[in-house]
Structure 1
Amino acid sequence: MRLTGRCRALRGLACLPPWTVNAGLVAGDARTLVVDTGANAAAAETILGYAEALRPGNALVGVVTEPHLDHMLGVATLRARGIPVHGHPRASRAPADLDAEIAEYATSIVDPARRDAGEAAVFFAGTRLEDPDRPLAGETALDLGGVSVELLFTPGHTPANLCVWVPAEGVLFSGDTVVEGYLPNLEAGGPAEWSEWLRSLDRIAALAPPILVPGHGGVLRGPAVQAGIARVRVILERALATGRPPTGPRAAPR
């Protein structure tokens, strides 16, 4: 999806049902930034194909917005091609996490014959788990040639969440700090993390981006940007008031 002359959104990449996940591209005159790498090697190859077509001849560089595997299971695919991948220093996972992801995916297969045949492995064919090789010492600006992007720390959903802000284009790639249409996943943290998430929402709301690409769901434009941020804020505030997230096992009423 074309957002601006330099920015693209890649929407609806396959993920654990019912989720799809988004990625993004920012093309400078010399380098193209890949924002998030998808939930498997096939998604990463698709993203790279679009990146190469957007501005042929550009060097490629990647960034992951968080350590959840739907955003970083393509890191190994990029690194195998010599593409550096930036990420928060805490964007790190253990090899056993991929096995757990495959097992969880298998539970989403309704037909028992397909499940027993191990068809979940098809989705993860060729996928390996690697961490970003360029951990960020702090918030960073990347010069892509003719355009600069800012990698902003926006913790809450996880301690390692980033947003990618392209001021000259008015585009923010929010990762899962904002999701659209889906209930945000609050289960990775608790009240302290949810409060931190609210502060991150305040920060990106103050940027007033004309276009926001969420980690999941539709692209937000114009007034829908602040409405989308406000929607996530209300869900967080409700979780803080009740002491429990909107999804997952429900605590007994107090």
Structure 2
Amino acid sequence: MTSTRIERLVTSGQFTLDGGTWDVDNNVWIVGDDHEVVVVDAAHDAAAIAAAVGGRRLTAIVCTHAHNDHVDAAPALADATGAVIWLHPEDLPLWKLTHPDREPDAHLRDGQVIEAAGVDLTVLHTPGHAPGAVCLYAPALGTVFTGDTLFRGGPGATGRSYSHFPTIVASIRDRLLTLPPGTRVLTGHGDATTIGAEAPHLQEWIDRGH
């Protein structure tokens, strides 16, 4: 039985893109044990995330994509902890909108495995919401972290720059809905769901054509 656990922190701030700004609440996921953790999406408040990490060693900050509300606190958190910021290279144009003077530390690639306190997080490249969007699948935890690719009730938004609805539907169909139905889906915003709860609705989403 793994001692690795998942903790959720909700932080609040703003999402800005294409000249618009919206107030948002983001899920920050902390994956690890009593000694070592990984953060999925450092949103809005580096101090709050650092406080939730506490005395544990933060090894990695994994960005599911580079919209500002998912990466705005990443450099400050990395500077405070020495953690490595990981981002898929196809999201560098979005990253530079928020952090023009600071590159991520390392590039994610499809199929890569990041370890969180002995549990493997497998990177699934799932473009559509953003070109470099990724999900992180942890079979040992029966969980996939989907960022803004898949939510309870359907795909993430594709109405703004760098996004594409047919691409996100293909990513969800081919990379996520093939996971075991009981897999928990932990999202970038809002409530959790499961693969089995979302899979029957794929055709509805296509017909709706977000």
Contact 2:183–2:196 (8 Å) recurs in 1: no
Which runs of no fewer than 5 residues in structure 2 stay unpaired?
16-21
Q: Quote the residue 2:97 is aligned against.
A: 97
Which runs of no fewer than 5 residues in structure 1 stay unpaired?
99-126, 240-244, 246-254
Alignment partner of 1:166 out of 126, 138, 149: 138
1:17-166 equivalent positions in 2, closer than 5 A: 17-28=22-33, 31-38=36-43, 40=44, 43-52=45-54, 56-81=55-80, 82-93=82-93, 97-98=97-98, 130-166=102-138
Residue 218 in structure 1 maps to residue 191 in structure 2: yes
* The 10-residue stretch of structure 1 (80-89 or 139-148) with the greater mean CA deviation from structure 2: 139-148
* Percent identity between the two aligned chains: 24
Contact 1:154–1:197 (8 Å) recurs in 2: yes
Residue 59 of structure 1: how far off its partner (Å)? 3.8
Q: Quote the residue 2:205 is aligned against.
A: 235
In 2, Cα distance between equivalents of 1:130 and 1:195 = 32
Residue 142 of structure 1: how far off its partner (Å)? 1.5
Contact 1:141–1:151 (8 Å) recurs in 2: yes
Supply the AA of the counterpart residue of 1:143: E
Residue 196 in structure 1 maps to residue 167 in structure 2: yes
Number of equivalenced pairs: 199
TM-score normalized by the length of structure 2: 0.79
Contact 2:88–2:107 (8 Å) recurs in 1: yes
CA RMSD of aligned residues (A): 3.1
TM-score normalized by the length of structure 1: 0.66
CA deviation map 1:80-137 (0-9, x unaligned): 2221011101222478834xxxxxxxxxxxxxxxxxxxxxxxxxxxx98744211124
Higher helix residue share: 1
Residue 181 of structure 1: how far off its partner (Å)? 6.5
In 1, Cα distance between equivalents of 2:135 and 2:95 = 25
Distance 1:229 1:186, change over 3 A: farther
Higher strand residue share: 2
Contact 1:178–1:232 (8 Å) recurs in 2: no
Residue 57 of structure 1: how far off its partner (Å)? 3.5
Supply the AA of the counterpart residue of 2:70: H
CA deviation map 1:171-198 (0-9, x unaligned): 11100111347983211369x9322211
In 1, Cα distance between equivalents of 2:101 and 2:71 = 8
CA deviation map 1:30-57 (0-9, x unaligned): 631100010x3xx2221222123xxx44
In 1, Cα distance between equivalents of 2:56 and 2:95 = 34
* 3-state SS of 2:31 partner: strand
In 2, Cα distance between equivalents of 1:62 and 1:96 = 17
Supply the AA of the counterpart residue of 2:36: R
1:173-188 equivalent positions in 2, closer than 5 A: 173-180=145-152, 184-188=156-160
